[in-house]
Structure 1
């Protein structure tokens, strides 16, 4: 079906324009044209004066709408998470499991497959955050499951997780080069996180092809003048990207501003959102603007992707256009050939629509 989205403002990836229309055919973008040049065969979709932008992408979310995936390994849990994502303009998500048993991860792989087989939408794959992290920086992760990797165990994850296991957060100082290379050979997106690496160790890892870091500032060795740590390595490396949790709780807005000033187009948003659960290995308790463990340890956010954008604009001073890129085009860069996150011909016609107050109006996907 050919559809033209018109009578609104269009974010074309660079700027927000009026009197334009987005042409799509069979859920693929054909192009952006003047509003008075829509071909007659296109059905028009009235945007009612609102702004249309590429739908958001969340590379790290653990659950939503009361369902924490690692505690409720069901297709219904993934459906609930997808519905939660949509409330914040996010059409694509990487379901995330924090440090756990290998058996739990293997169960997660099978549930993701079942979700896809049943026609489930939006799910990009599984992001394993751990278990190969540094116990010193484990944060809310399960201490008894943190470990160093073996080739045998990683090979098992790669075999059983084929086409499902897409991303891993790890501490490079805990992993042999052979493990890193094996994961890279299978096109797993690697990200440094929950790491106490020195500046040199982190820089070496980036230079060996690890493209990103996980939730900048949180659970990583800090920037200090005698040991710049993981934070310093992210800042000083020319291409390393990093996610950040823009809620003012995980990271103060001034620190987000500093990170953005240094990293520029290398910084992108994640929600790091969890769901409340009071039983099982992970117990996340809702605390108004965050989630915490029973002992008070910060364990996840209550964000949506649109709220990340809103916070960046209203509290950090990042332009709306750049904030939109941080929620779509930039995370998409980690996934080679995804055809997501841009308003360009050939890209997926998945859109978020919002008003001038940055309140969600609709998601097309």
Structure 2
């Protein structure tokens, strides 16, 4: 496969007019100039590394818990429309019995069916180990403190495919953080009511990831600085940002970008099953929600409940708010999280011998094509 007449965004520069050669799922060549060889003519569009979403529950009518036995494949196929080539699929707070059922089904998918569409890298467990004070759209009666035994069972049921856990760090003494790190699972502090100083315990143990900064956490306060303050003060901590323009005000997006810089931000969607569907009533776990345009909120309280925006929308929003150069933008969409997940040697940037995970965007950053490990997964 040849992708030609492309504006190629590399880690350190932009090739204004060039072409890529893909062979055996990998990038075999990146060249400046034109070629007369047959290929996909992208007519001057942007060519970027494929997007990686480390926090997405679902969309298009399915999620981790909702849908039939083919729900994970359904999501993988559809999410390629957004330019996503790799992702972690997130669960919400469930009963222990249901969690065991869902993680066993997920483990089967990962072992035998993860063959179509964008490639799932594993699960991101968001809840039940979170603070009742910062529960967001999680069922409060199911919340418990971080538990190693329960987590180990889910690791086993998922065939070792649990890759990230969101939990409130103040609800454990550090032993849970250490357990996750020892098992090569990314510890992500979130849905937390901690004071900033309490984060130091987990930071010193190696925690370097924050779940959806500013959403469902203690904030920036002059007398009780919380998790958001700690996340901003530690420049080597990677923060997830839901940059849909709904979860975080544009002025706050600017503050995050100016303070953290593009090296320490990863764009996420936190999208739920109603993404890509008409407005109306849906469910997030056991909770009823209402979707209106890209906003999804609990029917009973109006609290935001996941999201309805696509990854490419969030990319456009953040880029437009902060006028982010393309070589910096790809850090926030692909490079940073690939490094965090330990997969940067194989994907996350357009580099020789890496997997051909590629998104083609038009001048307005709309997705024109998604190429997943050398195969076209979506074409507009």
Q: 1:344 aligned to 339, 351, 363, which one?
A: 351
Q: Distance in 2 between matches of 1:354 and 1:176?
A: 46
How far apart, CA to CA, are the structure 2 residues paired with 1:334 and 1:283? 33
Matches of 1:337 and 1:67 in 2, distance apart?
26
Tell me, yes or no, if structure 1 residue 314 matches structure 2 residue 320: yes
Moved more, 99-108 or 316-325: 316-325
Check the 8 A contact 1:109/1:164 in 2, yes or no: no
Which of 290, 295, 306 is the aligned partner of 1:290?
Answer: 295
Which position in structure 2 is the counterpart of 1:65?
60
| Deviation of the 1:43 alpha carbon | 5.7
Instruction: Output aligned runs, 1:68-147, within 5 Å.
Output: 68-72=63-67, 74-116=68-110, 117-118=112-113, 119-121=115-117, 122-147=119-144
1:208 aligns to 2:213 (yes or no): no
Spell out, residue by residue over 1:8-27, the C-alpha distance to the aligned partner (whole angstroms, 9 max, x if none).
Answer: 21111233322322222211
Q: Is the 8 A contact 2:56 2:89 kept in 1?
A: yes
Aligned equivalent of 1:271, options 262, 269, 286: 269
1:225 aligns to 2:222 (yes or no) = yes
Residue 303 (structure 1) shift: 1.5
1:184-212 alpha-carbon deviations (Å, 9 max, x no partner): 11111111100011111113212211120
Which of residues 253, 270, 277 is equivalent to 2:250?
A: 253
In the TM superposition, residue 353 of structure 1 has moved relative to its aligned partner by 0.7
Mapped contact 1:329–1:342 kept (Cα < 8 A): yes
Distance 1:94 1:171 in 2: 20
**1:151 offset after TM fit, Å?**
3.2
What CA deviation, in whole Å up to 9, does each residue of 1:38-66 have, x standing for no partner? Answer: 6x9x8633222211111101111111112
Aligned pair 1:329/2:324, yes or no?
no
Give CA deviations for 1:242-278 in whole Å, capped at 9, x if unaligned.
1000011100011011011111110110001112363
**252-261 or 80-89, larger mean C-alpha shift:** 80-89
Structure-2 change in CA distance of 1:286 and 1:164 (3 Å): same
Do residues 363 (structure 1) and 370 (structure 2) align?
yes
Q: Residue 49 of structure 1 corresponds to which residue in structure 2?
A: 44
Q: Render the CA deviation track for 1:207-248: whole Å, top value 9, x for unaligned.
A: 211120000000111011222211111111131111000011
Distance across 2 between alignment mates of 1:132 and 1:188: 15
Distance in 1, matches of 2:79 and 2:282, equals: 22
Change in Cα spacing, 1:56 to 1:327, as seen in structure 2 (3 Å) is: same
Structure 2: distance between partners of 1:236 and 1:315: 22
Aligned residue for 2:23?
25
Unaligned runs of 5+ in 2: 275-280, 373-380
Tell whether the 8 Å contact from 2:167 to 2:190 is kept in structure 1 after alignment.
Answer: yes
Where do 1:235-254 residues align within 5 Å? 235-254=232-251
Hey, what's the Cα distance between the residues in 1 that align with 2:136 and 2:213?
A: 14
Q: Which runs of 4+ in 1 moved over 4 A?
A: none
- How far, CA to CA, are the matches of 1:11 and 1:238 in structure 2? 25
Instruction: Give yes or no for contact 2:54–2:88 (8 Å, CA) kept in 1.
Output: yes
What RMSD in Å do the two structures reach over aligned CA positions? 1.9
Deviates more, 1:243-252 or 1:103-112: 103-112
The alpha-carbon deviation at position 28 of structure 1 amounts to: 1.1
